[in-house]
């Protein structure tokens, strides 16, 4: 059981580093202030889910879910 705990801990550290990097790569919400004047209706505004920013948001959600699951698993004290 000790080997499984080590593997989960290493995976947890990797997820933590990736999650931190993903959050830092995203642009702030204040960058979208052009929406007041209607500039959000551009090509990139309509297809945000397929853009790089959309991909970063999806990856951040996945990493956050992995973070929570690994946190719970590591704190069960079963391993």
Contact of 19 with 63, CB cutoff 8 Å: yes
In a domain, 67, yes or no: yes
* 3-class SS of residue 26: coil
3-state secondary structure of 45: helix
Nearest alpha-carbon partner for 59 in 28, 29, 35, 24: 24
Overall pTM surpassing 0.85 (yes/no):
no
62 assigned to some structural domain: yes
Residue 51 is predicted with a pLDDT of 85
Report pLDDT for 48: 62
Instruction: Check if the beta carbon of residue 66 is closer than 8 Å to that of residue 32.
Output: no
> Per the structure, how many domains does the chain have?
1
pLDDT tens-place string over residues 32-56: 555 565 555 555 555 666 788 889 9
Residue 6 lies in a domain: no
d(CA 22, CA 6) in angstroms, rounded, equals 24
């Amino acid at each position: 059981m000790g080997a499984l705990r080590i593997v989960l801990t290493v995976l947890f550290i990797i997820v933590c580093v990736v999650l931190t990097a993903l959050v830092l790569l995203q642009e702030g919400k204040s960058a979208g202030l052009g929406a007041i004047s209607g500039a959000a209706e551009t090509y990139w505004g309509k297809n945000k889910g397929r853009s790089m920013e959309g991909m970063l948001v999806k990856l951040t959600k996945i990493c956050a879910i992995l973070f929570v699951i690994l946190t719970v698993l590591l704190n069960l004290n079963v391993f």
